[in-house]
């Protein structure tokens, strides 16, 4: 058993090859983000307090599968973890709502507790005092990645350890998107106001002369 420093990939030139290796696409993961953000937006004051996260989770799991399940990626539910798996790349991916993504100074924390199923798939973090290090490889088979999405629409595909029902340090982190405005020029910031109004403003750029 040995430990390695968390690998963080921030820029497209390093993230894209890794995604290709795994068999995913950044466009597909951004679509999962768009669908979960839309699901969150369906919440009104009459919904239960946890409705935003619930809606996002349900639609996020659906969209992850809708986007990627094919001849290579299969749907699976090991230990109750709603995931997809590729035997070709030996990777599992599940969906998670997290508090904050794409911040190298902050470990993404899941909004809801992670159960024993996820814990056994991810392996425990055995190196608590050194949070930037994690155990290299799960001993329990195919490693589990999470498509993590935060309320502002940031996305990362990361492989966390799990302990105490939450994420610990990650083996690797791939920053996919800093939010909708990072992708298509339409900067969207929700919850800017107390009433949760959607504030979308376009960003334009000068064409080359």
Partner 1 sequence: MFNPKKLALARMRRRMTGKGLAQAAGITADTLSRLEKGHRPPDDSTVVKLASALRYPTEFFFGDDPAVIDHDGVSFRNFSKMSAKEKDAALSAGQLGLQLAQWADDRFNLPDPDLPDLSYQNDPERAAMEVRQYWGIGERPIGNMVGLLESKGVRVLSLSEDTANINAFSFWLDGIPYIFLNNFKTPESSIFDSGHELGHLLIHCKGDLRGDRLLEREADGFAAAFLMPANDIRASVQRPITSETIIKAKAKWRVSAFALLHRLWRMKLVSTEHQYRSLCIDLSRRGYRSSEPIGIEREISTVWKQVFSSLWSEKITKEDVAKELRIPLDEVEGLIANMTATSIRPEARTLSIV
| Interacting residue ranges for partner 1, rule: CB under 8 A | 34-35, 37-47, 185-188, 190, 192-193, 195-207
How are beta strands 91-97 and 144-149 bridged, if at all?
parallel
Q: Which is nearer to partner 1, 9 or 33 (CB)?
A: 33
Closest of 111, 110, 171 to residue 145, by C-alpha: 171
Strand order across the 91-97 sheet: 7-9, 166-177, 155-163, 144-149, 91-97, 83-86, 73-76
CB atoms within 10 A of CB 182: 16
The least CB distance from residue 177 to partner 1, in Å, is 14
Q: Which is nearer to partner 1, 164 or 185 (CB)?
A: 185
The least CB distance from residue 198 to partner 1, in Å, is 5
Q: Which is nearer to partner 1, 157 or 190 (CB)?
A: 190
Q: Which is nearer to partner 1, 78 or 180 (CB)?
A: 180
The least CB distance from residue 93 to partner 1, in Å, is 22
DSSP 64: H
The least CB distance from residue 42 to partner 1, in Å, is 4
| Token duo for residue 119 | 């814990």
The least CB distance from residue 13 to partner 1, in Å, is 22
Q: Which is nearer to partner 1, 113 or 199 (CB)?
A: 199
The least CB distance from residue 199 to partner 1, in Å, is 4
Q: Which is nearer to partner 1, 6 or 177 (CB)?
A: 177
| 116 SS3 class | helix
Using CA atoms, how far apart are residues 73 and 31, in angstroms rounded to an integer? 17
| Token duo for residue 56 | 């996002």
Q: Which helix (H) or strand (E) holds 39?
A: helix 26-40
Using CA atoms, how far apart are residues 42 and 145, in angstroms rounded to an integer? 27
């Amino acid at each position: 058993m040995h430990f390695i420093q968390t690998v963080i990939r921030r820029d497209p030139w390093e993230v894209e090859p890794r995604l290709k290796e795994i068999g995913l696409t950044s466009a597909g993961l951004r679509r999962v983000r768009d669908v979960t953000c839309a699901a969150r937006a369906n919440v009104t004051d009459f919904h239960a307090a946890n409705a935003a996260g619930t809606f996002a989770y349900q639609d996020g799991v659906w969209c992850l599968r809708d986007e990627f399940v094919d001849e290579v990626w299969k749907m699976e539910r090991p230990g109750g973890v709603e995931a997809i798996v590729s035997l070709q790349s030996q990777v599992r991916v599940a969906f998670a709502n997290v508090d904050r993504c794409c911040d190298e100074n902050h470990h993404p924390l899941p909004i809801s507790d992670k159960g024993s199923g996820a814990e056994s798939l991810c392996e425990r973090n055995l190196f608590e005092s050194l949070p930037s290090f994690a155990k290299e490889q799960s001993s329990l088979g195919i490693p589990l990645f999470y498509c993590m999405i935060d309320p502002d629409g940031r996305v990362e595909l990361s492989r966390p350890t799990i302990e105490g029902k939450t994420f610990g340090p990650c083996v690797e982190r791939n920053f996919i998107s800093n939010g909708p405005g990072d992708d298509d020029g339409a900067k969207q910031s929700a919850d800017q106001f107390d009433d949760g109004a959607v504030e979308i403003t376009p960003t334009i750029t000068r064409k080359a002369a």
